[in-house]
Amino acid sequence: MMKFLPALFLFSLAARAEVTVPALFSNHAVLQKAEKVPVWGKAVPGENVTVSIAGVRARATADANGAWRANLDLSAQGVGPFELTIEGASGSKKVITDVLIGEVWVASGQSNMMWELKNAIGGAEEIAAPANTQLRQFLVGKKVGSSPLEEVAGSWMVAGPNASPIFSAIGYYVGKKLQGELKVPVGLINNSWGGSPIQAWISRDAYDASTPDLKRRADRSRSDYEGFPARQKEYEQALRAWETRYDRALPMPNDVSSYTSATTPTTDWKPVTLPGSFAAAGLPDAGAVWFRRTVTLPADTTAFRAALDLAGINGYVAIYWNGNKIAETKPEQGSMVKGHAPYFLPSSVTLQPGEGVLAIRIAMATGGMEVSGPIKWGPISLDGEWLARVEKALPPLDAAAKAAYPKPLLPPQMPVNVASNVYNGVLAPIVPYAIRGVLWYQGESNVWFAEQYRTLFPMMIKDWRAHWGQGDFPFYFCQLPNYHAPKPVPGNSDQADLREAQAMALALPNTGMAVFIDLGEAGSVHPRDKRVAGGRLADVVLANSYGKKIPFAGPTFASAEIEGDAVRIHFTNTDGGLVARPIPSEYVPDSLQPDKKVPLVRNVPNSQIEGFALCGEDRVWKWAEARIDGETVVVRAGGVAKPVFIRYAWADYPICNLYNGAGFPAAPFRTDNFPSGTTGKGFQ
């Protein structure tokens, strides 16, 4: 054995001496054309490292922890492609190929930025196009962290039939337009995360330096999440003890397939109608009961992967499709007993067109099992006849046993919702990669805390800029589009409050906003037309970061003056003059069902411009008639003889049609500061 030790020692030494870099520096990377382009990694402490590309060379020395960082000046270099070489003094060498020098943008936010090109309107045509080697995306692997991570998983991909399907659709359209206009390579670092609230994107440093209230909220968010395993263990011990004492244990059966398999005989199952009373169906109030029915899936099963709605079920559930588990809730997990919807199908569960068996186990040791509400799966209703079989019936509990039942465990926060978790996992590891700026589409998860968003959004922008150390780099964002159904009465709107909070961030330097108030879908939080949205955001970028003399915004409120019973409103960004676009008589709530149209009921049918509302000192809002008068709009409302305040497009889904001649919609605005439904609310 001794004769192998020298070889093993040399192998170990060589492994330790290897110079490494993060995945961001990998084949097909795009580096920012700038004077200071950091390249960093790990080496043996004290080792000298040389980085070179396109004739430019920089050196660094690894510190006591093995960390090193070199800065390249690529301000005068061409496009490439080049080889990026990293060499250690010990002889370690890494060569990264097909590296371009151009413009790098971070595409960040939640699901509308994450929305993939393959799911967008027009995406198929883009995907089928020949490869665009000048447009690339680095897709950051999703990982949260209780502290900032150093490494991030991911790889660079070149736009083309193989990679384009999973590009951020918004990012793709922005990048394609920039690349076409600027004639330089464009790289997108896509670290978006569906469902992520803004509080998760802000660093602990920023919270610690913020207000006592925000710091307290962030600390509690983290401690509640990190302390859940201990609470769960304590609760499970108490629950098991209670189950043993009162003989109420309901473990899953050993042979689950006898209830869930498509080939299971059902001669001893009884027909029941759901929703419906358990008592009327002769089913126990407490225990475990299985339900099953045959479901026929259509050729396109997409809508069935993320929309199994069981909100009307009271009880802990286990759900199976053709014998494969979809989901399970348990009291020791802090799972919801009632009202959980939808259940998302894991990728391991195969959905094939045709018949299959959906089986649901409902269990409650304390009693009260029921199915009181509708059952839906995607576009179809599952209300009606099911088959039921009792697995175990439990006798009624006496008052003492009920009182002794451990108080239900509160569910933990999802990791993506915890303060700083997303920042630590997918933002911190890409800093300080040289970038031109950030593209941001987020806010849907903070609509209920819109007032707080006024503070958190600029706080996040400043936080990122401080950590990046590139100064006030451009930060351009998407204002939330119209969503939900139009309402006939003017008033408050959480969606409108959030849009206002977003617009307030324009007070920060080097920011810009793309208005999407006409691009949404009433029935979906994910509008699929990302082409127009991406084009508008690209115009904001081109005009503000690259000096292109193009319109990039619609009419924006400037001032107003009272003229008797009327208000005259002045705007900026009236390129081509003010325009009243025709208002359609119907609209499509969901682009996935284009044939299902709904009448669009106008609030002021004879008005040239829809979307304005006025109120007087009584604060009672009235829809207003509005007309274009030169470069202004004159607004009047019946019942408001002395107008004081104005609102435009102030609704979840406003009917509004004011544009400029360049085709951009007017931005929503209001002149009042009345409290709303989100006043005083915030994340916990």
- Spatial CB neighbours of 141, under 8 Å, sequence gap ≥ 6: 152, 153, 154, 426
Number of H helices, E strands in the chain: 13, 36
Model confidence band, residue 72 (pLDDT cutoffs 50, 70, 90): very high
Name the nearest CA neighbour of 304 among 361, 373, 351, 355. Answer: 351
Q: Does residue 8 have a pLDDT over 50?
A: no
DSSP 184: S
Q: Are 360 and 292 in contact (CB under 8 A)?
A: yes
Residues counted in the chain: 684
Burial of 282: CB neighbours in 10 Å, binned 0-12, 13-18, 19+: exposed
H or E, element range at 113: helix 111-114
Chain segment 422-458, per-residue pLDDT in tens: 999 999 999 999 999 999 999 999 999 999 999 999 9
- The token pair at 188 is 């997108």
Residue 370 has what pLDDT? Answer: 93
Q: Does residue 10 have a pLDDT over 80?
A: no
Chain segment 516-566, per-residue pLDDT in tens: 999 999 999 999 999 999 999 999 999 999 999 999 999 999 999 999 999
d(CA 136, CA 158): 5
Q: Given 3-state DSSP classes, what are the helix, strand and coil percentages for the chain, each rounded to the nearest 5? A: 25, 30, 45
Q: Is 477 helix (H, G, I), strand (E, B) or coil?
A: strand
Backbone φ and ψ for 318, nearest 5 degrees, come out as -130, 130
Q: Rounded to the nearest 5 degrees, what angle is found at the Cα of 590, between the Cα atoms of 584 and 591?
A: 85
Q: Rounded to the nearest 5 degrees, what angle is found at the Cα of 350, between the Cα atoms of 345 and 356?
A: 95
Stretch 393-419: mean pLDDT: 93
Name the nearest CA neighbour of 312 among 333, 338, 284. Answer: 338
**Residue 144 CB: number of other CB atoms within 10 A?**
21
d(CA 38, CA 56): 13
- Spatial CB neighbours of 419, under 8 Å, sequence gap ≥ 6: 199, 200, 202, 204, 207, 217, 218, 219, 221, 222, 683
CB pairs under 8 A, 24+ apart, for 496-499? 496/649, 496/650, 496/651, 496/652, 496/654, 496/668, 496/670, 497/447, 497/450, 497/451, 497/676, 497/677, 497/678, 498/443, 498/446, 498/447, 498/450, 498/453, 498/678, 499/668
Q: Does residue 364 have a pLDDT over 90?
A: yes
Chain segment 202-245, per-residue pLDDT in tens: 999 999 999 999 999 999 999 999 999 999 999 999 999 999 99
Q: Does residue 5 have a pLDDT over 60?
A: no
Name the nearest CA neighbour of 71 among 37, 110, 33. Answer: 37
**DSSP-assigned states of every residue in 36-59:** -EEEEEE-STT-EEEEEETTEEEE
d(CA 461, CA 520): 25
DSSP 213: H
Stretch 20-36: mean pLDDT: 98
Chain segment 276-322, per-residue pLDDT in tens: 999 999 999 999 999 999 999 999 887 787 778 888 899 999 999 99
Residue 14 has what pLDDT? Answer: 43
d(CA 162, CA 129): 11
Residue with tokens 């020298």: 6
On the CB side of 76, CA atoms within 13 Å amount to: 3
d(CA 615, CA 646): 7
Residue with tokens 């473990």: 251
Q: Does residue 339 have a pLDDT over 80?
A: no
Q: Are 377 and 346 in contact (CB under 8 A)?
A: no
Residue 265 has what pLDDT? Answer: 93
Residue 307 has what pLDDT? Answer: 74
Q: Are 107 and 190 in contact (CB under 8 A)?
A: yes
Q: Is 241 helix (H, G, I), strand (E, B) or coil?
A: helix
Stretch 664-676: mean pLDDT: 96
Q: Are 467 and 503 in contact (CB under 8 A)?
A: no
d(CA 568, CA 640): 15
Largest CA distance in the chain: 101
Residue 421 has what pLDDT? Answer: 98
- Spatial CB neighbours of 59, under 8 Å, sequence gap ≥ 6: 48, 49, 50, 51, 70
Q: Is 399 helix (H, G, I), strand (E, B) or coil?
A: helix
| Position with higher pLDDT, 409 vs 35 | 35
- The token pair at 541 is 């970028």
Residue 11 has what pLDDT? Answer: 39
Q: What is the sign, positive or negative, of the torsion defined by CA atoms of 480, 482, 483, 487?
A: positive
d(CA 476, CA 531): 17
Name the nearest CA neighbour of 141 among 23, 41, 222. Answer: 23
Residue 346 has what pLDDT? Answer: 81
Residue 15 has what pLDDT? Answer: 46
Domains of the chain: 249-396 (2.60.120.260), 554-666 (no CATH)
